[in-house]
Structure 1
Amino acid sequence: PKNKLFILCSPHNPVGRVWTEEELKKLVILSNENNVTIVSDEIHSDLVLFKNKFTSLGTLNLKNLIVCTSISKTFNLAALKASNIIIPDKILRGKFKEEMFKVGLKPVPNIFGAIATESCYTDDGEKWLENLKKYLENNYEYLKKYLEENIPSIKCTPLEGTYLAWLDLKGLNLTEEELVNKIEKEAKIVIDGGHIFGEEGKGFIRLNFACHRDVLKEALERLKKVF
């Protein structure tokens, strides 16, 4: 009863889950019934893979909503510091802007970020994105097959979106410290250990496969050598 805010990661990071429209509709009903505001982080929404369908909470009948998007993940432009915070409700939007000003932040992007955002969404961005998604799908399939054939103790969990693979290393029977030591110091691969996502993430790692195939191949060969 004390909950006032629900933070949703859609698609989910780190597990790469794309929530279905039916799941989101149930969430909207719960939110409306309990007067809970949902902040929907949809920064990976352009990167939905394998014919999965993304549904933005902004398209559903939600009373209290904040949607966050950005070109930073899709087009690798995080350095431009450009993001969009969409708040349909005028009163809630006013409160948000007021708090922004209180902490010395103006809700206005820099000129480079604004132009880049417009360009990505209106010029040849879509064509480029479709090619990128094909490349990511192929990289994920390569990653999955490589692990199955060479390091079967490492399981590649099913992926529906994002460019981040959620790998289950519990089959190696190593402690969190041993895993990090082997991967970072021996294989010399910097990863995000699953423990940073909470207790349930222990024994997992998050691997970014949004890179050239040769880079991914080398990383996997290093893992094979160590394990």
Structure 2
Amino acid sequence: MKKLRTIGFDADDTLWHNERFFHLTQKRFAELLADFAEAEHLDARLLAAERRNIGHYGFGVKGFTLSMIETAIEVTEGKVPSEVISELLSAGREMLNHPLELLPHAREAVEAVVESHSLVLITKGDLLHQERKLAQSGLGDLFDGVEIVSEKVPATYARIFGALPGGTGAAMMVGNSMKSDICPAVEVGSWGVYVPHALGWDLEHALPPQNARFKPLDDLSELAALVEEIG
């Protein structure tokens, strides 16, 4: 019997670009509020707002937009011009409507394992936005299942992988977030394959697990060889 039967893929910044649009919008946010605070101070205040709002708004563009507006109100002591609020709302809409761009080797990596393993897309964020991005990616038909979740914790992988043939021990999670994709998957006994991305969100940082099932790669072009090696 094969050691590996199920491969889970993260979506944002694993299969397609995402974080760079947040960085560009955050730069625009700093420019709009340059008369009220320095960019470094704004970044820190925005990150604090995102951290406390995750439980209310979840992950994704909509929560990020609301956190920008909240931060703008705070740093201006309620004096933020309505034009700035309008610009922030417009920036959020632009992020939601931005054309999707696959990362290098993404399609090839998924296609290389689609015939031999069951594939599941596991991503968090806004349901409508993630569904739209998956449709635009052209990868949707390659997955046997799609899970859009509010959080990625050990219980998430125990539920998803545990219900599939072979359970968590015969599953692999591929992603760019050590905190959300790798550590919780390894904790429940799955392989965790870390594929780094140049841009990262501060709230997704974590130390790599000290476990033989943790497998770092340089990029997705190396995935097929690793899957074959595991067997």
TM-score by length of 1: 0.28
Higher-Rg member (1/2): 1
* Greater RCO (Cα-Cα under 8 Å, separation 6 or more): 2
TM-score (norm 2): 0.27
Per residue, is there more helix in 1 or in 2? 2
